[in-house]
C-alpha cells in the first residue's frame, strides 16, 4: 500500500452535541476521512459537523451498537477510529495512530488497537476507582470488527484477530455535574437490566443488597477509589447506588414476566 493511500476513517456518532462538535472535529483533521452519523439532532450539530469538514449521514438513533455497525457500512478505508463527541484526539495520539496503523497494514496484523483513555470528571482527571487507564478498543480494521447488537450500552466490538495497546491517551471530557453523572448512570442501569432480563437472568433477593455492596468495595477498595479523596468516595457510592437501580429494575422485570 502506498503511503498516499487513505488509511483511517474517523467516525463520530452524534445527537444534539453542538457544544462538542467543533472541538472534537478539530482533533480529527489528520484522518483521511471524517464521518459523522447524526441520530436526529434538533440543535446545530449537523450544520456544525458539515462546516467542520465531516460527511454527515442521518440515521434515527436506536442504540450505540446499531449506530456503530451502521457507521461501519459507510467506511471505505481499511481502518476505522471511533471517537465520541466528548472525546479528543491529541496530536501525540494522532501521530501514534498513523505510525502503528501504517506498520500493521504492511505486516498484516494486528487487527486492532486499544486506546488508553483519561477521564475528566467534575473538573478532575480521575485515575482511580476504575476510571484509568479505561482502555477502549476503538481503532480496528473495518472489515474485521462488528459490534454485538445485544449490548445496547457499554457496547463491545467483536474483533477477528488480535489487538495491541497504544501508549498515547484519548481524552474524555466526561461528566461536568453530579446531576449529569447520576442521570446517565440510572439510564445505563435500566438498560443493562433490560439486557439481562432479555437473556433470562433473574434477580435474587440477595442481589438487591450484595451486588451494590460488592460494587462499592470494588470501586473504593480494589480499584483504589479512596486515593481520589472525597470525589472517589462519592463516585464509588453513586456507582453502587446505580447497581442497586439495575437489580431493582431487573427484579421488577422478572416479576412482570412471571405474572404474565
Q: Are 169 and 230 within one domain?
A: no
The residue from 173, 197, 212 where one domain ends is: 173
Task: State the average pLDDT for the chain.
Answer: 94
Q: Are 98 and 114 within one domain?
A: yes
What per-residue confidence (pLDDT) applies to 4?
58
What per-residue confidence (pLDDT) applies to 258?
46
The residue from 156, 173, 190 where one domain ends is: 173
What per-residue confidence (pLDDT) applies to 104?
96
Contact 12, 24 (CB under 8 A): yes
Q: Are 243 and 144 within one domain?
A: no
Q: Are 125 and 216 within one domain?
A: no
1 within domain boundaries? no
Positive or negative, the CA dihedral 249, 250, 253, 254 is negative
SS3 214: helix
What is the chain's length?
260
Q: What is the CATH number of the domain that holds 123?
A: 3.90.550.10
Q: Are 133 and 222 within one domain?
A: no
Q: Are 143 and 82 within one domain?
A: yes
3 within domain boundaries? no
What per-residue confidence (pLDDT) applies to 222?
97
Q: Are 146 and 195 within one domain?
A: no
2 within domain boundaries? no
Q: What is the DSSP letter of 3?
A: T
In tens digits, what is the pLDDT along the chain, a chain of 260 residues?
344 578 999 999 999 999 999 999 999 999 999 999 999 999 999 999 999 999 999 999 998 999 999 999 999 999 999 999 999 999 999 999 999 999 999 999 999 999 999 999 999 999 999 999 999 999 999 999 999 988 877 788 999 999 999 999 999 999 999 999 999 999 999 999 999 999 999 999 999 999 999 999 999 999 999 999 999 999 999 999 999 999 999 999 999 854 34
Q: What is the DSSP letter of 44?
A: S
For residue 20, what is its C-alpha cell? 462538542
What per-residue confidence (pLDDT) applies to 259?
39
169 within domain boundaries? yes
Name the domain count of the chain.
2
SS3 102: helix
**Which of 9, 18, 7, 13 has its CA nearest to residue 155?**
13
Bridge partners, 58 (sequence order): 38
What per-residue confidence (pLDDT) applies to 139?
98
Q: Are 70 and 153 within one domain?
A: yes
Residue-range definition of the domain harbouring residue 19 = 8-173
Q: Are 78 and 114 within one domain?
A: yes
Q: Are 130 and 60 within one domain?
A: yes
Q: Are 127 and 192 within one domain?
A: no
Q: Are 43 and 128 within one domain?
A: yes
Tell me the C-alpha distance between 86 and 97, whole Å. 19
Q: What is the DSSP letter of 52?
A: T
Percent of the chain with pLDDT over 90: 90
Tell me the C-alpha distance between 39 and 210, whole Å. 38
Contact 27, 94 (CB under 8 A): yes
Contact partners, residue 20, CB within 8 Å, separation at least 6:
14, 85, 86, 173
Q: Report the side by side order of strands in the sheet with 87-88.
A: 87-88, 170-173, 117-121, 124-126
The residue from 173, 206, 229 where one domain ends is: 173
What per-residue confidence (pLDDT) applies to 156?
87
Backbone angles phi, psi at 117, to 5 degrees: -125, 135
89 within domain boundaries? yes
What per-residue confidence (pLDDT) applies to 257?
59
Amino acid at each position: 500500500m502506498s503511503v498516499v493511500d487513505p488509511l483511517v476513517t474517523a467516525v463520530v456518532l452524534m445527537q444534539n452535541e453542538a457544544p462538542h462538535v467543533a472541538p472534537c472535529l478539530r482533533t480529527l483533521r489528520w484522518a483521511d476521512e471524517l464521518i459523522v452519523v447524526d441520530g436526529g439532532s434538533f440543535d446545530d450539530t449537523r450544520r456544525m459537523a458539515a462546516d467542520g469538514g465531516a460527511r454527515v449521514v442521518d440515521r434515527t438513533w436506536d442504540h450505540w451498537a446499531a449506530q456503530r455497525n451502521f457507521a461501519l457500512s459507510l467506511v471505505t478505508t481499511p481502518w476505522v477510529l471511533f471517537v465520541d463527541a466528548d472525546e479528543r484526539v491529541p496530536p501525540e495520539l494522532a501521530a501514534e495512530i498513523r505510525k502503528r496503523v501504517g506498520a500493521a497494514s504492511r505486516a498484516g496484523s494486528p487487527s486492532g488497537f486499544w486506546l488508553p483513555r483519561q477521564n475528566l470528571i467534575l473538573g478532575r482527571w480521575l485515575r482511580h476507582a476504575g476510571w484509568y487507564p479505561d482502555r477502549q478498543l476503538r481503532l480496528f480494521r473495518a472489515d474485521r470488527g462488528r459490534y454485538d447488537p445485544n449490548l445496547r450500552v457499554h457496547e463491545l466490538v467483536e474483533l477477528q484477530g488480535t489487538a495491541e495497546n497504544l501508549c498515547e491517551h484519548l481524552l474524555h471530557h466526561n461528566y461536568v455535574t453530579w446531576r449529569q453523572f447520576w442521570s446517565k448512570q440510572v439510564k445505563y442501569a435500566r438498560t443493562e437490566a433490560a439486557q439481562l432480563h432479555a437473556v433470562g437472568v433473574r434477580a435474587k433477593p440477595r442481589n438487591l443488597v450484595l451486588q451494590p455492596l460488592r460494587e462499592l468495595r470494588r470501586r473504593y477498595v480494589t480499584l483504589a477509589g479512596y486515593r481520589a479523596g472525597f470525589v472517589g468516595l462519592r463516585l464509588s457510592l453513586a456507582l453502587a447506588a446505580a447497581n442497586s437501580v439495575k437489580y431493582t429494575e431487573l427484579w421488577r422485570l422478572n416479576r412482570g414476566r412471571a405474572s404474565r
